[in-house]
A and B are shown apart, each in its own frame.
Chain A
């Protein structure tokens, strides 16, 4: 699909960005991203993707809105308490940008739905709190050769990397086991999760529009207490059971 005059009016200020331009905006318009869990990380991430004019978002997020969501899950509202979170995600994103297409799944990632969710996307964002979900999504992205932006946080720290199967470490290279003692509930200030979320959104926009440098083979670590950002070189595990035999793909750019 070509950009319309209305598109150019809406996205004018970002089309001015060196490297993005008309051609990058057109690529965004013709791209689809999957965001799994649309909470403290995935919510602000989806919001930034929607505002930037990504053509289609696939959102997977289970459960009903609770009081304890409201400090960070910025797509949830008080009038939504007790109702499915995914409804609020859709409503708020449509209010922000009615031009984009939004497909919703009112479940988190499972063995049953992961294949279909990933197959519809050009790019996947992993924002889930449970390692079982993240490693499942990682395995499927490697299988389908889809790029995966992995964002995570704890308390006042966050981290981010971009995974290109066969070319960079996958999540199973970084986490060869499900860490013991990990609980789904942990300390989160919404501004910290939103910071990592927006950095993840930028990674995705650069990857899809084709400009800038990506956090490939690199883990970005952010410490909000000291405002330190560090880039750590990371390597594939040759014996990784998920991506060890995976060859570098030719990245399919959206038309």
Chain B
């Protein structure tokens, strides 16, 4: 188990009817920096992808914060250049009530020529 997932497991509260389980898949540079491909988060029902970001990055290294997140009006949200993907379609990170219990969301930071 990677450090990032171990941290989230230690923080996991008792599941309530108001929580859903979302798997976040990290791609590209985010996967390499975190040495993690998937992190399971328990979040409030109706949460947007932007609202997953502070949960995901709690305890994460600064380099991962830099790649995945930015601040808007003091709130931490998904960086504009990172693509959020669910069911092979991109989704708007700020949209609430899109994610369902058991969904997997992939976060794809930019990559470039080799």
Contact = CB atoms under 8 A, between A and B. Distances in A.
Contact of B67 (A174, A181, A221): A181
B112 interface: yes
A251 B80 CA distance: 31
Interface stretch (B1-9, B50-58, B85-93): B85-93
Given A152-B112, A221-B27, A187 B32 contact: yes
A131 B112 contact: yes
Interface string A162-182: 000000000000111111111
B112 A176 contact: no
Interface in B94-114: 108-114
Interface of B: 27-29, 31-32, 63, 66-67, 79-81, 83, 85, 88-90, 108-114
A244 B28 CA distance: 28
A129 B110 contact: no
Contacts of B66: 180-181
Contact of A175 (B89, B90, B110): B110
Contacts, number: 96
A182 B89 CA distance: 25
18 contacts: A41-B113, A126-B113, A128-B113, A129-B114, A131-B112, A134-B112, A152-B111, A152-B112, A153-B112, A153-B114, A154-B111, A155-B28, A158-B111, A176-B81, A192-B114, A193-B114, A196-B114, A234-B90
Contacts of A134: 112-113
A233 B90 CA distance: 7
Nearest to B89: A233
Contact of A129 (B83, B109, B113): B113
Contact of B81 (A152, A175, A232, A234): A175
A247 B3 CA distance: 48
Contacts of B27: 157, 221, 223
A243 interface: no
Contact of A232 (B67, B79, B88, B112): B88
Contact of A151 (B31, B80, B85, B113): B113
A39 interface: yes
B88 A179 contact: no
A143 B29 CA distance: 31
A178 B109 CA distance: 11
A131 B110 contact: yes
